[in-house]
Amino acid sequence: MNNEFFQEQREQSIIKARIVSKYFSTWASIILATQKRYPQHAQRMAYIDLFAGPGRYDDQSKSTPLLVLETILSNPDLTSRMVTLFNDKDAANIESLKTAIAQVPGIKKLKYAPSFYNEEVGDEIAKMFSSKSIVPTFFFVDPWGYKGLSLNLVSSIIKDWGCDCVFFFNYNRVNMGVNNDAIKQHMASLFGGERLDELRNQLLDTLTTDEREVIVVQELCDALRQNGSRFVLPFRFKNNNGARTSHHLIFLSKNFRGYEIMKEIMAKESSDTKDGVANFEYNPREMYYRQGTLFDLLSRPLDELQGMLIEQYAGRTIDFLELYEEHSVDRPYIKKNYKEVLRTMFDTGLISAVNPKTNNPPRKGSFSDEMRITFGGAV
């Protein structure tokens, strides 16, 4: 394992760890509430990190495993239910992680002591997960490159109820490897054989750097959807000078609620928004050099959302939550964006809206989840 990554925790790594730990905290709360409501079902849950690393960076910043364990230890209900498993093929990383975890205050409060493994992730681990029924588990898969990351692995770890996954997609390494016959087997395990051939053909065209990236990431997301993940959400990280993409963090779930929660988290961690709509990207340069441009003024994503809603729902009556879940998937908009647009449409007479339980219209300046919306006919 190349440990240069751990020598200094860059801002991108802090953002990545924060996204993962924030989602884990909310996910665990939801699973806990469900388990308490149905005590006849399994009362355990798990966090599994397949490429765990050493626990701390050289500057002593905490990596994801320590942040997750601190979240668990802050809730007595989780300390009695959570199983944690940490794996890394580098024995030195595992020893370092063991030491770091042993020093976490209160670590002895865990009912299930953390388990540590020193295995290379590959087909055998995917087969093991595939053959077993898994308790609700949050998986973090953060390989240095692409080896070990496969469709088989991903589909095996999210197949059961309550199982979600975030994985690190090293775009640079994969982009260089897509057309490399020497590692074609690795690429095929990630995209699928037929899809890889189609992807290679698409990349023969003259493309800009951005066009190539869109194609590669879209093909990966489509492959993941076909292999058991109903919801796929990528978040892009730019390199330190903001010139090119370094990697993506990709979230997978079978449940819209999980997708919605992660989307809200990623939107807040985005380095830029236009018209209140997040770009689902962290660009260090944008954090320090935000300057409005004429293009920004002309680009109005909320106007685009309004246009889509008018066209798609013309003449229809639909409940807000149904519309939101139906329309928001694979689009950058979060719930507050929909509410803002629909409130404006209500104020300007483009829609009518009423709470069917109370027969009341939206209160001034707001738009609640309970609203039933009627769109006018096509213009």
pLDDT digits (tens, 9 = 90+) for 282-295: 998 765 444 444 33
Between 41 and 216, the higher pLDDT residue: 216
Does residue 160 have a pLDDT over 80? yes
Average pLDDT of the chain, as a whole number: 90
User: How many Cα atoms sit within 13 Å of 167 on the Cβ side?
Assistant: 29
Rounded average pLDDT over 15-42: 94
pLDDT for the residue numbered 350: 97
Rounded average pLDDT over 165-184: 93
pLDDT for the residue numbered 258: 97
What band does 378 get if pLDDT is binned at 50, 70 and 90? low
Per cent of the chain over pLDDT 70 is 92
Using an 8 Å Cβ cutoff, are 259 and 333 in contact?
Answer: no
Rounded average pLDDT over 257-274: 96
Dihedral through CA 50, CA 56, CA 58, CA 61, nearest 10? 130
pTM: 0.91
Backbone angles phi, psi at 218, to 5 degrees: -65, -40
Does residue 369 have a pLDDT over 50? yes
Burial code (b: 16+ CB inside 10 Å, e: under 16) for 48-83 equals bbbbbbbbbbeeeebbbbbbbbbbbbeeeebbebbb
The dihedral sign for the CA sequence 106, 110, 111, 115: negative
pLDDT for the residue numbered 77: 96
